Every structure is written in structure tokens, then in C-alpha cells.
Structure 1
Amino acid sequence: MDSRQLRYFLAVVDNGSVTKAAEVLYVAQPALSQSLRALEAELGAALFRRVPRGMELTGAGAALVGPARQVVQSSRRVDETVRRLVSLERGWLDVACPSDLVVDPSASLIARFRARHPGVRINLVDPGPNADSTTVLRSARCEVAIDYLPVDDAKLATHPLGRRRLVLALPEDYETMPAPTFPIESLADLPLVAGGRGTVVREELERVCGQHGFAPRVVVEVEHEHNVHLLVAAGAGAAFVTEPEARLAERRGLRIVRTTPELGRDFGLVFRTGSLSPAALAFVTFVTASGDGHDL
């Protein structure tokens, strides 16, 4: 049996006849009668007996009324839930995002998406300091991510959003530089504070230094690359920081300089190819259409 058969059954119960039930349901009377016969055949019992004034429930029919109403009500709740999810009146979305991209650009994107779809709840998932969002996306824990690019996975699509530029934070008493920018070659003997191997800034630092024939002199490793300017201020070494972090560093009296060449990583939207949930599809559509590409 299915919920449609039970709805037809209850319509006859509530209206007293097949004719009236068919009118209420806007279905042809023969179709309704056929559905009832099929239900009776499946249950192996007659559900109605004909009386002069219409249809009367048999014992089996009376026993079916309560369970049938429960099934129909549950079916309506499921239909309503699905409808709300599809229309985004309700929903939830897990977005993978490394912690250093949460404030910018993720915060503004999510705030504006929520303003458009206030019924959708967002859960930001941090992949961790030594992981990236591709692992979370492959495991199906999340459908979308805001992460650093490029992403080497044929099953994932990307949409660039901007570039996170890195600048060098130097102790206040560092010697005066003759040039307005800091040449990368000068990093060879400079003690540095950086995240562990595999973190975003450390990978970029090692890549650029490697291109110039030397390894960076990392004297302090931190699990999380936030607030490394505090270690610089304490005299532990110099450090590469994002431009928002650089503003905090300058307030502590640190010197902020750009390097030649410049360090930085592109970032963007990453999402699973194939079918997406309504909330994930709406988020991807919103972000890719928002034209929010910018540098940080």
C-alpha cells in the first residue's frame, strides 16, 4: 500500500461515499474505486460495506482508520520538509573553511547568503592546521568549501575569489633597509616564525625560498599561524602575515614590509561536481554570481 491509497480510503471515510470523496480529491470516481479495491486485495479484507446512504466501515476498515491517519500525516510532514528544503525556507549547509579565511572572505559571503536565505543554517568546518578542504569534501562531510587554490582533484570544481597576499613583519629594532621592499634573498639568514610543514604560509615560504636556492631559517614553529605577530613583538623572529594581521602588528610597533617577489596564495570556492543539495547549489550559485573576487 502507499500513502495515496490511504488518502483515498480516508476521503471515503470522511465524506461517506466514493462519489463525494472523488469530488473532494478532484479524481475520477472509477480511479478511486479501483484504488480501494487494490488496497482491499492487498490487505485481504473488505474495508467498506454499502448501505442505503453510502459506505459504512467494516471491522477491518475501522481498525485501519487510526494507522492510516498517522501514515498520511507523516507523509505530509515529509512532503512539507522536502518542500521547505528545496525552496530553502529551511535547510543546513556545512562549509569547509580554514580558520584564516573565516573572517575574510567567508564571513561577508555567508552573511549575505543568509540574508537572502534566512532559513538556512551554516556550519563552518575547519579541516585543521595540517589538512585541506579537499579531504573533507571527498569524505562527503561537506559539499562546498572556501579554501586556497589550486585544487588537484578532478571530482572537485573551483571558482577563484581573490588572492591572499603575505607581508613580512619585522621586529621594531630591525636594521634599516635601503630598499622599500625586502628582497627574498635576505631571508636566508633571517630567523623566522612560521607554521609547521604543510600549513599554507609555510608551504608558500618554502616554495619561494626554494626557487631562490635556499631553505627558510625557521626557528619557531607554531601549530596555528594566527597571532604570530605576537611572537615577533616578543623578539622570537620575523614572520609572514596576512595584510589584516599586519594591521594588528603595526599597532604593536612592528615594521611591515613587502617582499620581492611577493608571497601569496589564491583562494576560492571549491565544490563537489555532480548533484548538490538545494542549499549547496544555492550557495554555489550565489558565490559564483556575486563577483566578489578581491585581494586580501
Structure 2
Amino acid sequence: MEIRQLRYFMQVCESGSLLKASEVLFISHQALSKSLSLLEKELGAALFYRTPKGMIPTQFGQELLEDSRPILAEWDQLNLKLEESATRHKGKIRLGLSGGLIYFGSKKIWEYFKELHPHTEIEPYEHGYIEGLKCLKAGTLDAVVISDYENTDGFITYSLPSTRRLLIVEKSNPLASKEELEIKDLRNEKFILCINDFAYNKFLRLCQAEGFTPDVRRTSDTVYMYKLCSEDGLCGLCIDSNTSNLVPKYPELRAIPFKDNAFPYPMMLAVRNNYPKPTLIKELVDFLTYSLNSVLY
């Protein structure tokens, strides 16, 4: 038995004839008659008396009619809710990608999102950290994936899976003998860092809390950072999930974690406050959480 058959049956009861019911249902008289005959065969009982005056429900038909009304009413209510849900899940997110993970630049991640959520369009834009937040304030972006951000702007934020930062050192450096490091161990080191402003300021605060200010040069090129760590004996910082791609290319380097994850790589999604479709954002957060867990751990 199908919902469609019950709907046909109910319409025949209301119309009193196959011809009138077929006109209301926009199907042929023959198709409607066949559908009812199949339903009667399936149920093993006649549903109508077929008289010159029309179709009159049998006692069994009357009972089925009464039982069908709440079922069809609930089915209609379910369809209405599904339509409303589809409307809530339809829209566009202009997404700024300011996180340092190379993973976000891949088209595949957004193609996969489209497969899962065909009614939600993601427009990805690559921005620097400061520029991304400016666009978020201006309303030209709806959300930004960002790391190390301390929300002083009042945006709506959602935490995403985070990973560790590791120290990169030459294997000849005494620090390379340690299995994990504390911030105080970095006192006499020189650094070349490819790091965002938020993380840089946090690194300074961590070092200053241990009584020293680190000697830091900055670069916007991760490969250049590894090169100088290798050639000039400088220390660098990297994201745990990226070490498998770069460290093997520099066998003279070692990546060492911080004790108690003292300098993590926290990620979040920052969303403009007046974005009108929070359901889409929750979809995106769930997707990013699932996706990041698959590449970070």
C-alpha cells in the first residue's frame, strides 16, 4: 500500500465517482480504476459498492477512510515541514579562507560539500587574516575560517577542530634531543616564523611571560622558513598536520611538540552577526568539523 493509493481512495470517497475523482487528481479514469483495484486486491476486500449513482464505500471502505484521514494529514504536515526545511537549507555563504591549512584551498572539499548540500552555495575567497575580518565587518563576507583569533569584534564564533604547533630545529641543536619543549627552553634561540599576526602576538606574550623577548624574523613563505631553519640554524614553528609534507624534504630538521600543547593552533569560524540563515552556518560547521577531523588526526 502506498500513500498515493490512499490519497486516490480518499478522493473517490469525497467525489463519489471515478470520473470526478480522476478530474481532481489529474489522472485518467482507467489509471484511477486500476489503482483502486490493485489496492482492493492487496487488502483482500472490496472498498466500494459500484452503483449507477456512483461509488459508495463499503463498511470496510468506511473504516479505511476514517483510519486514512490522520495518516494523510500527518503526511501532508511532514511534507510541509520538509519544504520549510529545504527553504532554510537553501542559500549562499560567502566564505573567507584565512586559516593556514592548505586543505582549504582544494576545490575537492567544496565539491564534496555541494554533493552533500546541493541547495547551499559556498563562494570561497582567500584572504589574509586582517583583510578577512575587515570584509566580515563590511558585510562583503558572511563567514571566515580563521586561527588564533581572540574575538574582540563581537562576531558569532564556532570552534573547529584544532591541532598542535611544533618547533622546527636542526638536529644538531641541543633542543633536538628533547621529546617535548617548554616555552622557557626557547630563551636563547633565533627564529624565522611564517605566522599570522594573532599567533605572533600570542607567541611574544608566551615568551615574555617566561622573562624574555624572542629574536624573531618573519616571512610569508613556509618553504623559505624551512630553508633558513636548515641552512642558518634558525628555529621555526609549524602546524602538526603539515609536517608530514615538508619535514621529510629537510632530513636535517626535527619537529618537536610543546609540553601540554602550550602553543596550539586553534581554529574557528567567525560569522557576521546579521547573517540571515543560521541553519546554513551550522551545516558548514558540521561539515568543516568532519572534514578537519579527517585530515588533522
- How far apart, in 2, do the equivalents of 1:226 and 1:93 lie? 32
- The Cα of 1:235 is off from its aligned counterpart by 2.5
What is the alpha-carbon distance in structure 1 between the residues aligned to residue 222 and residue 237 of structure 2? 9
Q: CA deviation at 1:103?
A: 1.2
Name the structure with the higher helix share: 2
Displacement, 1:158? 0.8
What is the aligned partner in structure 2 of residue 114 from structure 1? 114
**Count of aligned pairs between the two proteins:** 204
| Structure 2 unaligned blocks of 5 or more | 1-85
Structure 2 counterpart of 1:229: 226
Q: Name the counterpart of 1:166.
A: 165
Paired amino acid for 1:237: L
- Whether contact under 8 Å (1:169, 1:255) holds in the other structure is yes
Structure 1's unaligned 5+ residue stretches are: 1-84
Map of 1:55-94 to 2, 5 A cutoff?
92-94=92-94
CA distance in 2, matches of 1:161, 1:99: 11
2:190 aligned residue = 191
Tell me if 1:150 matches 2:150.
yes
Pairing 1:210–2:172 present: no
How far apart are 1:119 and its partner, in Å? Answer: 6.4
The corresponding residue for 2:127 is: 127
Q: Give the drift of 1:161.
A: 0.9
Counterpart-to-counterpart distance in 1, 2:151 and 2:106: 18
Aligned-pair CA distance for 1:140: 0.8
Structure 1 pair 225–283 and aligned structure 2 pair: CA distance change class (3 A): farther
Report deviation, 1:217: 1.4
CA distance in 2, matches of 1:274, 1:266: 25
State the Cα distance separating 1:146 from its structure 2 match.
Answer: 1.1
Q: Summarize deviations over 1:202-260 as a string: whole Å, max 9, x none.
A: 22321211221111111x32134566223212325110100123222144211111123
Cα drift, residue 285 of structure 1: 2.4
Query: Is the 1:168–1:241 contact (alpha carbons within 8 Å) kept by the matching residues of 2?
Result: yes
RMSD after superposition: 3.3
SS at match of 1:228: helix
Q: Give the Cα–Cα distance (whole angstroms) in 1 for the partners of residues 232 and 164 of structure 2.
A: 23
Give the secondary-structure state (helix, strand or coil) at the position aligned to 2:237: strand
**Cα distance in 1 between the residues matched to 2:171 and 2:177:** 16
In 1: Cα distance, 2:124 partner to 2:265 partner: 21
- TM-score w.r.t. structure 1 length? 0.58
Give the percent of matched residue pairs that are identical in Structure 1 and Structure 2: 14
Give matches, 1:34-53, under 5 Å.
Answer: none
The 8 Å contact of residues 96 and 125 in structure 1, kept in 2 or not, is answered as yes
